[in-house]
Amino acid sequence: IRIPDVIQKKRDKYELEPEEIKFFIDEMVKGRIEPVQLGKSGVSRKLRIYHLKSDVNGLVLQWNVTKGTDRPHRLHDPFRFILLLSRVGETLSWPEEWKTMLVDKHSTGGVGDKVSLVLAPALAACGLKVPMVSGRGLSFTGGTLDKLEAIPGFNVSLTNEQMRECLKHAGCFIAGQTESLVPADRIMYAARDVTATVDNISLATASIISKKAAENISALVLDVKVGRAAFFKNLNDARLVAKSLVEAARDQGINTTAVLTTMDVPIGMAIGNSLEMMEVIETLRGKGPADLVELVKIQGGLLLNSVGRTDVSKGQQLIEETLHNGAALACFEKMLVHQNVDVRLAADLCSGGYQLTRAKYVTAILSPLSGRVLDIDALACGSVCGALGAARARASDEILSAVGIELLVTVGQSITQGQPWANLHHEEQSVASDLLVKLQNAVVVGNAPHATFDAPTTRIL
Ligand code: URA
């Protein structure tokens, strides 16, 4: 088999054989595929590995016909792709007695989305084991690993032995793909980010579920984001993604639930890696913003229910308790130490006595009017942070951890003209005027008599 032949076959819309896909993935992992070939065959919008586009069309068609009663046979195609992606590397293995305790959560990506960072230790505090293989920022969204790396010393590249130790003592770890763990996703993930292919349903399914399959977990909850600051902007697309993810995960033997949650306004009050990490710690200290806590509780409750620990509402209550009684914070602190953070620093950080590095400059963004805050555009906030260095434009770009936005108001709150609604944290003294204007326009202030806090709306599939 030769790579150009595989690409040509794909280009001419012939179905690839499993061994051809396997060959392609193997060669990619060995670094023997030129970037331009990767773009042409796997992640370009025109040509996708293994019928990815027609899978999506097939999925729509089949779901319409069968109304979801039977599994559409076309779904087998991305499933095989996922299986191959995850099997190129190794699958994690755990002691038999943990079998029913192993759970995880994954989001399709949002702005200010730090739910995983709170939920993993909260679940650990409830006695579950959370082997979380996570990702970096994609496009305008933040990445869990990038956020964690804002903490000095934090190591996201764990050996299997370190993962096991971390699960044993802290109950959770959060790590990245490595050269042996889902290595193919590591390469495709970075390539997708810079080729504008993050919103492809099959590639997202393969990316997310290959990681979860490699974790060898029993139950999974998926947070499928819907809205202007999500990759899947409307409910129809988000439903398709959710179905694709749930079917693919169940095909891997994982008991899976998906929730659809809105992603229009930033989650919590912090956007940007360091600022979000500080908000995570505050949330683990029982002082988190209401919308973030709600998302953590919803997904935690579902997982506790999935593994038969309790019903969903009692599960939510248990999760909330761990945020108030210090149990989740204690698991988080242990995780930091097992992932290479200095013991003293971890303790100081968790007691609120240590602040992560702040950006050199802070610019207050003022309200144009007096009235109520009717909207804060998460997409605008995420793009401005990205443009100032909080996200990558190229796979090799360094991230500026301290860049971000601190929101000072929530939707529904009153504000007066000239009052700051956000602080922009930046590293260069001057901020390009188009970015400042974009951020200034991200807030809508008006006089609607009854603007209330827009809690995340959820749909459980
Ligand atoms: N998270 C992932 O791991 N992959 C995606 O494609 C999107 C979110």
Complex prediction ipTM? 0.94
pLDDT in tens, 81-112: 666 665 667 889 999 999 999 999 999 999 99
Where among 350, 378, 408 does a domain terminate?
Answer: 350
Spacing, Cα 108 to ligand 1 middle (Å): 5
Is 351 labeled as catalytic in the residue annotation? no
Q: Is residue 356 part of a domain?
A: no
Where among 63, 87, 111 does a domain terminate?
Answer: 87
Q: Is residue 461 part of a domain?
A: no
Which residue range is the domain that position 158 belongs to? Answer: 92-350
Residues 374 and 412 in one domain: yes
Spacing, Cα 421 to ligand 1 middle (Å): 31
Catalytically annotated residue among 22, 74, 105, 106:
106
State the DSSP string of 147-198. Answer: HHTTSTT------HHHHHHHHHHTSEEEE---SSSSHHHHHHHHHHHTTT-T
**What pLDDT is attached to residue 74?**
38
- Give, using CA atoms, the residue closest to atom 5 of ligand 1: 204
Ligand 1 pocket, residue 109 CB under 6 Å: yes
Residues 290 and 424 in one domain: no
Residues 255 and 113 in one domain: yes
- Check residue 257 and give left, alpha or beta (phi > 0: left; psi -120 to 50: alpha): beta
pLDDT in tens, 263-291: 999 999 999 999 999 999 999 999 999 99
Asked if residue 403 lies in contact with residue 426, where contact means CB atoms within 8 angstroms, the answer is yes
For residue 446, what is the enclosing H or E element?
A: strand 443-446
Q: What CATH number should be reported for the domain holding residue 280?
A: 3.40.1030.10
What distance in Å separates the CA atoms of residue 355 and residue 344, rounded to the nearest whole number?
13
For residue 106, what is the enclosing H or E element?
A: strand 103-107
- Check residue 418 and give left, alpha or beta (phi > 0: left; psi -120 to 50: alpha): left
Residues 221 and 157 in one domain: yes
Q: Of all atoms in ligand 1, which is nearest to the CA of residue 106?
A: 1
Ligand 1 pocket, residue 38 CB under 6 Å: no
Ligand 1 pocket, residue 42 CB under 6 Å: no
Residues 344 and 296 in one domain: yes
**What pLDDT is attached to residue 43?**
39
Exposed, middle or buried, 317 (CB in 10 Å: 0-12/13-18/19+)? Answer: middle
Residue 68 has pLDDT above 50, yes or no: no
Residue 126 has pLDDT above 70, yes or no: yes
Q: What CATH number should be reported for the domain holding residue 15?
A: 1.20.970
Global pTM reads 0.86
Q: Strand, coil or helix: what is 223?
A: strand
Residues 235 and 188 in one domain: yes
Which residue has better confidence, 189 or 387?
A: 387
Q: Of all atoms in ligand 1, which is nearest to the CA of residue 141?
A: 8
**What pLDDT is attached to residue 374?**
94
Catalytically annotated residue among 40, 105, 147, 192:
192
Spacing, Cα 208 to ligand 1 middle (Å): 5
Residues 179 and 132 in one domain: yes
Q: Of all atoms in ligand 1, which is nearest to the CA of residue 134?
A: 3
Ligand 1 pocket, residue 301 CB under 6 Å: no
- Give, using CA atoms, the residue closest to atom 3 of ligand 1: 208
**What pLDDT is attached to residue 88?**
67
Residues 148 and 236 in one domain: yes
Ligand 1 pocket, residue 122 CB under 6 Å: no
Residues paired with residue 179 on neighbouring β-strands, in sequence order: none
Confidence of residue 37 (pLDDT cuts 50, 70, 90): low
Residues 415 and 341 in one domain: no
Where among 293, 323, 350 does a domain terminate?
Answer: 350
Q: Is residue 206 part of a domain?
A: yes
Residues 130 and 190 in one domain: yes
Structure tokens at 311: 């019903």
The pairing of strands 219-226 and 255-262 is parallel
Q: Long-range contacts made by residues 29-36, C-beta under 8 angstroms, separation at least 24?
A: 29/88, 29/89, 29/183, 29/184, 29/187, 32/3, 33/3, 35/191
**What pLDDT is attached to residue 5?**
83
The count of domains in the chain is: 3
Residues 387 and 272 in one domain: no
**What pLDDT is attached to residue 297?**
96
Least confident of 9-18, 21-30, 440-449: 9-18
Ligand 1 pocket, residue 204 CB under 6 Å: yes
